[in-house]
Amino acid sequence: MKIIQIRHFQTGAVVTSNNTRALDDNIPTTANLTTDLMTLSIPPSHIANKLKIDIIFTGDVATGAGHSVLALFQDAIANALACSGMDTSDGYIKNIKLTHYMVAGTTSTTTFKVRAGSSNGGTLTMNGEGGNRKYGGVMASSITITEYEG
């Protein structure tokens, strides 16, 4: 496959969220995951091209917060395109990774948003722990969008 373009955003900035998202069989929505952790836009060059979206979240959820979910949203669409989760009840810094493939379907600029929450509403801290940055900003989270020729 031929790569057409790559868009990348990486940050060591701290972002916190207290979004609550139950561990159930419903698709995560923008109604319960309201805080953008990262956003990245891309103008696909052809509607038939493929997009690969890779997300790496590094961070912590307050001890006892249970299960955490990382979700990918597009533009104003309410339902998540994809999500990943893990047990974060131990309060240690972890990585949550998510990869999503899709057909571009447009040549207009489209924006992807990364949001997260925990099952018990504990404070989620991207690039840190307990609401504070760790490691001087070099611990980072990222989103990468790669467009492949259709």
Supply the pLDDT for residue 118. 84
Task: Give strand pairing partners of 111.
Answer: 41
101, 132 contact by CB (below 8 A): no
Contacts of 121 (CB under 8 A, 6+ apart): 18, 19, 20, 65
Residue 132 exposed, middle or buried by CB count within 10 Å (0-12, 13-18, 19+) = exposed
The confidence score (pLDDT) of residue 147 equals 98
pLDDT at 86: 80
Q: What whole-number distance in Å separates Cα of residue 29 and Cα of residue 106?
A: 22
What dotted CATH number matches 3-148? Answer: 2.60.120.1340
Per run of 10 residues, the mean pLDDT along the chain (length 150 residues) is 96 90 88 94 98 95 75 97 84 89 98 90 86 92 96
Q: Is the distance from CB of 43 to CB of 79 less than 8 angstroms? A: no
Please give the angle made by the CA atoms of 31, 82 and 102, to the nearest 5 degrees. Answer: 125
Q: What is the pTM of this model?
A: 0.93
pLDDT at 136: 92
The ranges assigned to domains in the chain are 3-148
Distance CA 23, CA 134 (A): 28
Provide the pLDDT for residue 67: 81
